[in-house]
Structure 1
């Protein structure tokens, strides 16, 4: 009798957890046939993606085929019969799902943390191309089963990131093969903004100019009598704020956002501003904006546009994926791409 009861309890525990599979079955063809090989590095310290709540049950998300290296490299070969001359390396650094309850909220949000990077490889040297590093938020009021929303997001993000990696240009210095797992720190050691004690006053047109501490002398800010910035000048003539990434005044940096200027502060992880998604996304005045279909996932084209807009953007205003919440937190500025990195 005891064995029967234990068996029933075990059966119930199995039923109470759902499993949602990440199916990597999209097209990753290089339309220009420039890529010779795709090497995939799974650099996650923990391969378990996680579980989230689904009503009174829990749901786990995992890959349909967990031998990711062989699967993704064969996926590339199956979709690319005509090969080129370049060797692309894609690294998966983080992939986690979890429930997180933000401050002043009555319910938790299902979230996805994903970080991927791409490199061009030449012999034993790697050249950084791009990175996608963000947290995708699922709105529990509009999404019945969060795992059905997040699993396709993972597949679409990985698919679009791989496809876009064929056409990214190389940025920065080369990385020796023995430093590839430490590429971020290796490249960031050359950024003057991060390593210098004091920032140079002036106007910066893009994030690279800021990190290299190279203000554009042809630009200046215009202030009123109260010291408030009222405009941007180029050789003395008024121009649009869109030509400015940030400015430094009195050693303090101020980042242009859709709702005004936010002070850029720095800690051991880099520069950040304290704000929310709803403040940073153009037109995002309401916290209920959803990009793409809530239940069916986001179309790949929208994901691709979001990832691409985060690479070398003029002002870091990467387009949104997922729920644009009003939760305020430290939003970091990617030192290699200039895109915003959300942690909440």
Structure 2
């Protein structure tokens, strides 16, 4: 049973209301196997719209002026009996509603993996994780940067397509060379003029330098563009950003991007590492670091086109 009862108090009292639109095509969360029996996963109150509004009202006695609407797009749990693994796919977005016009705040779009051999009570662990994600997402949405492109309520189902039309890194015929401190500057194609890419005599990138020719912490940077190609700052150095029919991606893994805690780190990083922040969850020793664990299975890790956060599919 998934309980939504964690603290979602808006500490700055900016929010007047919190509502939810459930657009899930499949309302069935899925089943898990626990102690040889099938466990049907459910929310403790399946009237999610009313439950979220009541939850918010209970934690927020002092209210502000912002009306926040969440779009619950997917919550799906898959269990694989032959491997003992379970996956949870969650996709949820938030908007500020201003007189019927919706302005995008944030999005969480990720898949979490659980191993029943390492998790004694996997239904309880997954329930707790879903509750953590939703409450953290709500708290993050209270003070998150808001995009300026309005979306009408009737067009909410197409919000991604509408917003991407105003993302310069998507619409520009060629990316602007330079260093980008965060995803916001990258999405607007406005590199930081006071930084540049430092190279050694062989032309290999050694890191980011400031106007005093001093190396700066690569973890403070989102990435850079050179000769029309974009590179993302990661714990294993700068990785090229590629594109296929599903979107933008780097070739990496949870373990590389969040070496301390590949599941929880990815959960938190995907929520807070986007439009404002650079890299969350791990420090980078050097921009030129390329020593990668040969035993790590690499795959496409997509980059959310609206937030810059990592989207794990495995």
- TM-score category, normalised to shorter length: 0.7 to 0.9
Partner of 1:97: 77
Q: Per-residue CA shift, 1:40-90, capped at 9, x if unaligned?
A: 111111111112333533322111211111121122223333332221111
Q: How many residues align?
A: 301
Q: CA deviation at 1:197?
A: 3.9
Q: 1:58 to 1:214 in 2, by over 3 A?
A: same
Provide TM-score, normalisation by structure 1. 0.79
Structure 1 unpaired stretches of 5+: 1-20, 293-301, 320-324
Residue 313 of structure 1 contacts residue 339 of structure 1 at CA under 8 Å; is this kept in 2?
Answer: no
How far apart are 1:218 and its partner, in Å? Answer: 2.9
The question of 1:150 aligning with 2:126 is answered yes
2:57 to 69, 72, 77: 77
Q: Work out the CA distance in 2 between the residues paired with 1:124 and 1:279.
A: 42
Q: Hey, what's the Cα distance between the residues in 1 that align with 2:188 and 2:244?
A: 18
Q: Which residue of 2 aligns with 1:247?
A: 224
1:203 and 2:179 are equivalent in the alignment? yes
User: Where does 1:139-178 land on structure 2 (aligned, <5 Å)?
Assistant: 139-178=115-154
Normalization by structure 2: what TM-score?
Answer: 0.85
1:86 to 59, 63, 66: 66
Structure 2 match to 1:38: 18
- 8 Å contact kept, 1:231–1:238: no
Poorly superposed stretches of 4+, deviation over 4 Å: 288-292, 305-308
1:283-304 per-residue CA deviation (whole Å, 9 max, x = no partner) reads: 53xxx86759xxxxxxxxx97x
For residue 288 of structure 2, what is the aligned residue in structure 1?
none
Q: Decide whether aligned partners of structure 1 residues 335 and 228 sit closer, same or farther in structure 2, where only a CA change above 3 A counts.
A: same
Q: Work out the CA distance in 2 between the residues paired with 1:143 and 1:309.
A: 26
Rounded to whole Å, the distance in 2 between the matches of 1:169 and 1:198 is 26
Deviation at 1:99, TM superposition (A): 2.8
What is aligned with 2:287?
none
**Matched-pair contact (CA < 8 Å) for 1:23–1:63:** yes
The alpha-carbon distance between structure 1 residues 289 and 121, as it changes in their structure 2 partners (threshold 3 A), is closer
What secondary structure, in the 3-state scheme, does the structure 1 residue paired with 2:207 have?
strand
Listed one character per residue, the Cα deviations across residues 187-243 of structure 1 (whole Å, up to 9, x for unaligned) are 111122223343232222222222222223332212223321013222251231234
Residue from 296, 308, 311 that aligns with 1:338: 308
- Counterpart of 1:88 in 2: which secondary structure? strand
Change in Cα spacing, 1:126 to 1:225, as seen in structure 2 (3 Å) is same
Q: 8 Å contact 1:316–1:339 — kept in the other structure? A: no
Structure 1 residue 328, shift from structure 2 partner: 2.6
| RMSD of equivalent CA atoms | 2.7
Structure 2 unaligned blocks of 5 or more: 283-294
1:100 and 1:108 in contact (8 A); partners too:
yes
Q: Name the structure 2 match of 1:6.
A: none
Q: Check if 1:135 corresponds to 2:111.
A: yes
User: CA shift at 1:306, angstroms?
Assistant: 5.0
